[in-house]
Amino acid sequence: MNNGVNLLNQLVVSADCQPPALPGPRLINLSLRIVWRPAANFAKQGRFLEYWKTFPMSPDALNSLFSLCIGFALAGALASGYQALVRRPAGFGLLQDGVAPKTFAAVPFLVFAAPFIIMRNTLRGARIERRRVEFVMMATVLAGFWSLMSGTFFVMTLRAAGLLA
């Protein structure tokens, strides 16, 4: 107890505010240290915002991206709805029934569902039949352009109807 009181007196009386020397050697285990990871690059911290300031997206490019996404979403929704109703996947075989009202009704459906069907068949063919990368890339570009055109038509129809500003 007396040793603790002397230590406290040294602390209070010390004019240079240095901590008192402790008896014995100071041993530090260097393997017990905390390694802090760097701060995450969040969107509001600045570095991400600087990227968007240097490479702005034009309104036309944003509109095209929106049309592309809408086209793929519409194609996926139509093909999935068809598969839920008929219990078989949609395909271009719908056009092989000859001259019939059912074949003519399938044409507008396939115009909008084709990007999904092309991508589904391409990805299945790449996995099962080991198709070359060039053919997969070509089919992806074709489905993308088709989706862009069908999405553009759908967005223009929504704007003409007054449902989209």
Per-residue DSSP letters for 28-86? Answer: --TTS---PPPPP--GGGSHHHHHHHHSPPPHHHHHHHHHHHHHHHHHHHHHHHHHHHH
| pLDDT string in tens for the chain (165-residue length) | 555 555 445 545 444 555 556 666 666 666 666 677 776 666 656 555 566 566 777 889 889 999 999 999 999 999 999 999 999 888 888 888 778 888 888 898 999 999 999 999 998 888 888 888 888 899 999 999 999 999 999 999 999 999 987
- Length of the chain counted residue by residue: 165
pLDDT for the residue 2: 54
Per-residue DSSP letters for 2-34? Answer: HHHHHHHHHHHH-SS-PPPPPSS-----TTS--
d(CA 84, CA 102): 18
Neighbours of 10 (CB within 10 A): 13
Q: C-alpha distances in angstroms, 75 versus 9, 14, 69, 141, 154?
A: 82, 80, 10, 15, 11
Contacts 24+ apart (CB under 8 A), 37-41: none
Longest dimension (CA), the chain: 109
d(CA 40, CA 47): 11
d(CA 110, CA 104): 10
**Residue (of 56, 123, 55) closest to 89 by Cα position:** 123
5-20 residue pLDDT tens? 554 455 454 445 555 5
48-61 residue pLDDT tens? 556 656 677 788 98
13 token code pair: 């009386």
